[in-house]
Structure 1
């Protein structure tokens, strides 16, 4: 854990970027670039010394690839490095994990979040909804997430890409700003250049 937190800088929440989601039992997925985009965000936050929260899902289901005690519970390569907080959870929202994420963020003076991870429409969307309700200024980096096809109640299949699109519609302007990896990194680079010139950051 890093020695100091840069209050006022957005915390990066990396949600459930775990090896178990590569298990074929999940079925077809979208966005093959998701993991690479997650790592781009992590690298940018680490390079700047900005706060990073890693979230890990410890499934209680005996058949789950995310169950503790197996490789699937581990983070994907590149994620398990320097960070400020590790939250473990057994439900969808990172705000209902251990330790209490909201308490830690407020104690650290952090009021803005950037969310990425797996899966788009479950743990990432649920966490973003709670973040918005709790008053955090939240960016949801949709191309740094992915999800899987799901069967609807009528037996039809809703594709992962459609589920991702619906998540974006659900969240944008209501709970979060839906954005992209390139946009977030571009804004950070522009902010860094402005700071170097003595101009105030947004």
Structure 2
């Protein structure tokens, strides 16, 4: 169950890390997706973080796979409207699942004094999960926002696993050991409390 006690959350030294909020994830090739409200929650969080003056960093997957819709030069590589960077917000391009491998993300966080990266985006069980795990291993205190992330159906050995099941299991595996799992409303309430 996501963390709900906003009064105990610390958003000092936080930044939103917006992972792979790209148009390519709208393609049918990915199959069924859970959480159709993810983009709305991402937009709400970005607006709140910007208003509070906290850092916002965007991660874009620049696939090297020939047929990937996320490959640079294709429309799928572009950001969705909900995750469109504003002027001055860094964009980190990555080629693997982790947003930290071969990128300047760690340096950007350290330069800005960020201890608590708040992860949103796609997909819960791939790039979000990999990036969150590595953030914790690097000494950060990550949050992952359960309703501002989403994933797709997966298949193994002829068995199909529903997107919502994959999503919840990925969050359960991250919870406590790698990250604090929270909901958008909880973070927005915590942010409002800081301003009051």
Q: Secondary structure at 1:94's aligned position in 2?
A: coil
- Structure 2 distance, partners of 1:94, 1:190, is 30
Q: Secondary structure at 1:38's aligned position in 2?
A: helix
Using the TM superposition, give the Cα deviation of residue 97 of structure 1 relative to its aligned residue in structure 2, in angstroms.
Answer: 4.0
Deviation per residue, 1:27-53 (Å, 9 max, x gap)? 001000011111111111111121001
- Structure 2 distance, partners of 1:162, 1:97, is 31
If asked which structure has higher relative contact order (CA below 8 Å, sep 6+), I would say 2
In structure 1, which of residues 88, 93, 96 is the aligned counterpart of residue 98 of structure 2?
Answer: 93
Task: State the match for 1:186 in structure 2.
Answer: 189
Using the TM superposition, give the Cα deviation of residue 137 of structure 1 relative to its aligned residue in structure 2, in angstroms.
Answer: 1.3
Q: Secondary structure at 2:54's aligned position in 1?
A: coil
Task: State the match for 1:60 in structure 2.
Answer: 64
| 1:110 and 2:111 are equivalent in the alignment | no
Task: State the match for 1:175 in structure 2.
Answer: 178
- Structure 2 distance, partners of 1:51, 1:183, is 19
- Structure 1 distance, partners of 2:58, 2:111, is 17
**Which runs of at least 4 in structure 1 moved beyond 3 Å after TM superposition?**
none
Structure 2: gaps of 5 or more residues: 1-11
Structure 1's 47 and 97: CA in aligned 2 closer, same or farther, altered over 3 A?
A: farther
Deviation per residue, 1:95-120 (Å, 9 max, x gap)? 1143x211221122211110000001
Deviation per residue, 1:51-94 (Å, 9 max, x gap)? 00100000111111111101100000142232532110010011
Tell me the TM-score normalised to structure 1 length: 0.88
CA contact (8 A) 2:39 2:82 kept: no
Structure 1: gaps of 5 or more residues: 1-7, 194-202
Tell me the TM-score normalised to structure 2 length: 0.90
1:1-202 equivalences in 2 (<5 Å)? 8-82=12-86, 83-98=88-103, 100-152=104-156, 154-193=157-196
